[in-house]
Amino acid sequence: MPRRTQTIAPALPASGALRPLGLDEVRITGGFWADRVDTNRDATLPHILHWLEREGWLPNFDLAAAGTLPEGRRGREFADSEIYKFLEAAAWSLGTSPSAALEATFGSVVARVAAAQEADGYLNTYFGRPGQPPRWSELGFGHELYCLGHLFQAAVARARTRPDETDGLLSVATRAADLVCAVFGDGGNDGVCGHAEVETALAELARVTGDDRYARQAELFVERRGHGRLTPNEFGAAYFQDDLPVRATTTLHGHAVRANYLAAGAVDVAVETGDAALLDSLVTQWRTAVARRTYITGGQGAHHQDEAFGLDWELPPDRAYSETCAGIGSIQFSWRLLLATGEPQYADLIERTLFNVVATSPSAEGTAFYYSNTLHQREEGRPADPDVPSARASASLRAPWFEVSCCPPNVARTLASLPAYLATVSESGLQLHQYAASTIRTALPSGEAIDLAVEADYPASGVIRVVVGRDAAQEWTLSLRIPSWGAGATVSVRSGGSVESSSPGPGVAAVTRRFLAGDVVELTLPVAPRVTHPDPRIDAVRGCVAIERGPEVLCLESVDLPAGLAGRSVDDVRLASAAVTPDLTVALRVHDDDDDDGWPYGPERPRASTAGTARLVPYHSWANRGPSTMRIWLPVAE
Amino acid sequence: MPRRTQTIAPALPASGALRPLGLDEVRITGGFWADRVDTNRDATLPHILHWLEREGWLPNFDLAAAGTLPEGRRGREFADSEIYKFLEAAAWSLGTSPSAALEATFGSVVARVAAAQEADGYLNTYFGRPGQPPRWSELGFGHELYCLGHLFQAAVARARTRPDETDGLLSVATRAADLVCAVFGDGGNDGVCGHAEVETALAELARVTGDDRYARQAELFVERRGHGRLTPNEFGAAYFQDDLPVRATTTLHGHAVRANYLAAGAVDVAVETGDAALLDSLVTQWRTAVARRTYITGGQGAHHQDEAFGLDWELPPDRAYSETCAGIGSIQFSWRLLLATGEPQYADLIERTLFNVVATSPSAEGTAFYYSNTLHQREEGRPADPDVPSARASASLRAPWFEVSCCPPNVARTLASLPAYLATVSESGLQLHQYAASTIRTALPSGEAIDLAVEADYPASGVIRVVVGRDAAQEWTLSLRIPSWGAGATVSVRSGGSVESSSPGPGVAAVTRRFLAGDVVELTLPVAPRVTHPDPRIDAVRGCVAIERGPEVLCLESVDLPAGLAGRSVDDVRLASAAVTPDLTVALRVHDDDDDDGWPYGPERPRASTAGTARLVPYHSWANRGPSTMRIWLPVAE
């Protein structure tokens, strides 16, 4: 094994309440997420590479190296970034699951990328050559710095998983980053990229290289934004968060992926520079956006038109954009706030978003993806053409690839690094944030060695058993997150023949003791299905409830309507009562077919309906059985 | 006066249940619509001309004539059409209100347009010259035929209002139309324009010239659409109705202006060719779209993203696009179906759309306009920059002009021709469809002369008195539309000393007799405010009611909240009960300010509220007192 130089994790802040653990310290051993991580490695990564070749986005680098661009270049201006996200995903995957074949592929792709880099470090297949727009000439929509950000993140992943690397990806990245600092550094070009991303990437590149210029550059980019430097598009400067300085902003707004990436980078800067005011602003932005602009799934960004956050309470389920990448950005933002503050609400949102956005996007086979994640499908979607990239706007079912295909590689890099989000350590102990069958072997800052086995069939079961593998030298605290829905949870500690039990409320349950090998801390979360009401200010779901089970949001699919109601739309369904049985069955009234196509507004009139029952399914599984109509929010009959 | 050759009206089908009356036969003499028609003539027309000059869209024609295009051309590819809509509006206005100044302006603009026409009749400032895209090379988004359609409609308006015209506009139009027929006729280029409009324009040009080639060309364009000939954009072929042949379509779909313009043109073709199957299809499309895809305001087209109809029941009030031009297109479609069938539901929708879309768009001063017409404003809009065209997507209050400025001239041409929509005649008599203080002097097909004075202060009062001005030679029928909300209406006929009364239901009240001068037919419509419930399948307004008064939809503006609740958002408002007083006051519960920015989904929890009352205002008047938050649909407290 190579010498381990840094924790093998995507984000390594220098300070903060909690310290991340690496992919070599936390291993997922089975269950819900293991299945998805495995599918991601075995099916999704080859699938992505296939499409990157087929669509010409990877061959663009070959054309660049051959000097034959721009003729033959394919894809949008940000196509380079998908190759970098693939490399990042592959690097994390190789860090947990060595594979000679993938290693060879990785080296080959890196070589093709490296061959396209110009002498001064510049790297982008869309800009700078005769016949192409000049370098840095289209900062608003050119995505040049955005693409480099993904390059840096790929290099960071590679450097942390393979510190002995000889493929040169890190040096490709640092040469490009040096150019960025030379061009955009203090006193240089004072622009920012229309799509935030390079900020968090530069922060991490600084952490992996120790080069403070990159951290300073991240800081410059964060501070420069919000002063109207970018040419506004028809959606205004808010679209790329150029309307207000980050530290003057009170909620997430504008393009939802851009907003979250920027916020993540700003946390990095705030933590690195010790800027408490900036961190406070980001905490406020997170709180207000989560309270007023986030779907029950954790999805963010209501608007299709500009892929943007709506206003407060504007959360239409049937026109939810809820882009997969915005969910991933939200996880990155939340994770950084969790590390900085240690507060459990951030891990709550990460869990919700993982189960209901990240797990929803890929098909069971891992070869088709949702770009947007509607909460209400009114017409059966049409299966995507397997041979043609789908338009993101019109895809109504999972599609193998998109004309703008940011989401599939973004899912891939997230799942490939997923174990890094399960647990952290602090001076006093270890924190479990996400529950999965897993092993954790690490050491506390004190040097105390930790060896835990987490036994869980979560979320099917709410019982999570943490089995201690070694005697402790001293007392330490095992912290267990109790989700906001976890009222009624119990924690029992079995040590030797003794059992101590408690019933902690939502938040964090702390068990402090000098643990002995064989001790078992058992957390039981109440995962019976529950009825959830929306804030009454969310107009679009007034009079509706959702059914949740543990971290999973459930939904009704039309294919689950009983035989007598087969073929009916979920639009005609009412819950007979706001109740659900333990096996996820709800009692329905389904409005009878109504041929009265009259004016739909007038005095109240009764409608005949037919009774029935249906079993709900997890939202993340919807449409895995083929096209259906679907809804999460179920109207309750009056 | 010039010799009258054709009825002075926008649409003159050769056959149909009803025959239109002209602007010289129906005159609006006062009240709600007279104010708007006058403001349109006196303020809006000069305002539009000012912006057409200032933005360079009219000077584009001068550059074309000077041979200096494309340098200096300004505006989008369809900018020419706004000049034509201005000319159409001015022509109708001159037909009712002669004005030497406007006449001189009209002639001057026509001369500038005519000077830009090419030798073979082609006319477009965006295409065909060196450095411009070739003619007919971008049918999907080029709007070439769309622009010519508006040219034809302007020429039709001029020819009908000034049949003695010597300015040459009709010959400009027919030369261009001849070229269209030569290029796109039988056996020629089999394309269609991505934005329907030329179809209905060609039909009318045929009616004004008697040249059947134009009618045939309209038929060809209607029949060719729907076979996937246009290159789909990211929204798919449905965007420009190229996914399904018109006669195979069951509801309006895709871009809402395009859909309505196409449907209007298809009715023209169906009527001219006697194609009952095509007409049946259009009747069905109207019925289903009105029942399932239309806002209570009559507004159509829910989506901001593609300016398109949503799916059935997808009618979010806060994200209502409801483009002004879509409402105008809907009126054109409905009017043609009304003429074809004589059925009153079409006039019902016209009335609703006139009062709640067309009257809403312009400011009281007639110099600022809504492009989209939201039904729920969550944040106070920002006043538009008076010196810069607004982006249609981000305008939150009425704006003087738009980068895409189709709506202001479209409102202008509609208001300028408004009297033509009030009444029709048939073999048996005269039909009153819209109520306004007006005079009607015409003759029935039998030769029976009609002279009526309509006395009304509608919609403030529901009393409409039709005073007969001359003794009839024979029996005829006066038909009065009873709106769908008009249950309880009464009709009384006073002749000499006798009075006969009846209480007809919604639909048409017919009074048949040999009328005598001085007879009075008095219709009393129930215009007390009423509570309206939505179809329960419209998810976005579940648990809400709207308050209507006669044809006007009312709304709550935050500026009308009582002093104790000043500054609160309408998002916090609940109706204490689904009731309204005769003076439009509602009892409210307003949720107290709530600092709990927690996760907004969970168990039900009570919310403290404060009682108050507020007076509603007509939706069409909203924001005339400055920025406010506003909602039409009011949640009823549970």
Instruction: Determine the 3-state secondary structure of A364 from DSSP.
Output: coil
Average pLDDT value over all residues in chain B: 95
Inform me whether the pLDDT recorded for B1 exceeds 50: no
* Residue type present at position A585: T
Inform me whether the pLDDT recorded for B3 exceeds 60: no
Chain A with chain B: Cβ pairs closer than 8 A: 173
Nearest CA distance, B286 vs chain A (angstrom): 10
When pLDDT is averaged across residues B38-45 and rounded to a whole number, the result is 98
What single-letter DSSP state applies at residue B434?
S
DSSP H or E segment with residue A281: helix A276-292
- The pLDDT-based confidence of A2 (bands split at 50, 70, 90) is very low
Inform me whether the pLDDT recorded for B237 exceeds 90: yes
- The pLDDT-based confidence of B395 (bands split at 50, 70, 90) is low
Residue spans of alpha helices (H) in B55-115: 59-66, 79-96, 100-115
How many angstroms from the chain centroid is the CA of residue B83?
A: 18
Question: Which of these, B494, B488, B560, B558, lies nearest to B524 by C-alpha position?
Answer: B488
- The pLDDT-based confidence of A1 (bands split at 50, 70, 90) is very low
Least confident range of A110-124, A240-254, A453-467, A583-597: A583-597
| Mutation for testing the B interface, residue in A601, A630, A631 having most B CBs under 10 Å | A601
> Residue A544: its chain B contacts at CB < 8 A?
539, 542
Q: Please tell me the pTM assigned to this model.
A: 0.95
Question: Which of these, A54, A60, A41, lies nearest to A106 by C-alpha position?
Answer: A41
| Mutation for testing the B interface, residue in A307, A484, A539 having most B CBs under 10 Å | A539
Shortest CA distance from B348: residue in chain A: A599
> Residue B392: its chain A contacts at CB < 8 A?
234
> Residue B351: its chain A contacts at CB < 8 A?
none
| The pLDDT of residue B394 | 62
Shortest CA distance from B287: residue in chain A: A597
> Residue B304: its chain A contacts at CB < 8 A?
303-305
Shortest CA distance from A572: residue in chain B: B537
> Residue B543: its chain A contacts at CB < 8 A?
542-543
- The pLDDT-based confidence of B386 (bands split at 50, 70, 90) is confident
CB atoms closer than 10 angstroms to residue A244: 17
> Residue A571: its chain B contacts at CB < 8 A?
312-313, 537, 539
Shortest CA distance from A237: residue in chain B: B394
Subunit contact A635:B312, Cβ cutoff 8 A: no
In this complex, which of A304, A541, A601 lies closest to B296 when CB atoms are compared? A601
Average pLDDT value over all residues in chain A: 95
A54 is written with which tokens?
Answer: 């087929």
| The pLDDT of residue A3 | 40
When pLDDT is averaged across residues B540-568 and rounded to a whole number, the result is 95
B235 or A367: which leads in pLDDT: A367
Instruction: Determine the 3-state secondary structure of B204 from DSSP.
Output: helix
Catalytic residue chosen out of the listed positions A307, A323, A448, A548? A307
> Residue A343: its chain B contacts at CB < 8 A?
none
Q: Is the Cα torsion angle B96, B101, B107, B109 positive or negative in sign? A: negative
Subunit contact A543:B546, Cβ cutoff 8 A: no
Helix axis angle for B144-161 and B169-184, nearest 10°, is 140
| The pLDDT of residue B425 | 98
Reported as a single tens digit per residue, the pLDDT across A170-190 is 999 999 999 999 999 999 999
Shortest CA distance from A296: residue in chain B: B601
> Residue B591: its chain A contacts at CB < 8 A?
536-537
Reported as a single tens digit per residue, the pLDDT across B303-335 is 999 999 999 999 999 999 999 999 999 999 999
What single-letter DSSP state applies at residue B43?
I
CA distances to A45, A182, B45, B230, B461 from A416, in Å? 10, 33, 63, 42, 70
Structural contact between residues B75 and B404, judged by C-beta atoms closer than 8 angstroms: no
Subunit contact B601:A546, Cβ cutoff 8 A: yes
Nearest CA distance, A33 vs chain B (angstrom): 25
When pLDDT is averaged across residues B296-302 and rounded to a whole number, the result is 97
Subunit contact A305:B304, Cβ cutoff 8 A: yes
In this complex, which of A235, A287, A604 lies closest to B394 when CB atoms are compared? A235
Subunit contact B316:A376, Cβ cutoff 8 A: no
Question: Which of these, B282, B288, B254, lies nearest to B268 by C-alpha position?
Answer: B282
> Residue B534: its chain A contacts at CB < 8 A?
600-601
In this complex, which of A318, A536, A538 lies closest to B314 when CB atoms are compared? A318
Does the structure's ipTM exceed the value 0.90?
yes
Cα atoms in the 13 Å half-sphere on the side-chain side of A36:
22
Reported as a single tens digit per residue, the pLDDT across A349-367 is 999 999 999 999 999 999 9
When pLDDT is averaged across residues B364-369 and rounded to a whole number, the result is 96
Shortest CA distance from A634: residue in chain B: B539
| Mutation for testing the A interface, residue in B312, B539, B552, B604 having most A CBs under 10 Å | B539
Nearest CA distance, A344 vs chain B (angstrom): 13
Instruction: Determine the 3-state secondary structure of A612 from DSSP.
Output: strand
Reported as a single tens digit per residue, the pLDDT across A525-548 is 999 999 999 999 999 999 999 999
Q: Which residues of B belong to the active site?
A: 307, 406
What is the full DSSP assignment across B120-160?
TS---SSSSSTTSPPTTS-TTT--HHHHHHHHHHHHHHHHH
Would strands B423-425 and B463-468 be described as parallel, antiparallel, or unpaired? unpaired
Subunit contact A235:B600, Cβ cutoff 8 A: no
In this complex, which of B287, B537, B635 lies closest to A571 when CB atoms are compared? B537
Inform me whether the pLDDT recorded for A313 exceeds 80: yes
Subunit contact B533:A376, Cβ cutoff 8 A: no
In this complex, which of B311, B378, B533 lies closest to A603 when CB atoms are compared? B533
| The pLDDT of residue B468 | 98
- The pLDDT-based confidence of B340 (bands split at 50, 70, 90) is very high
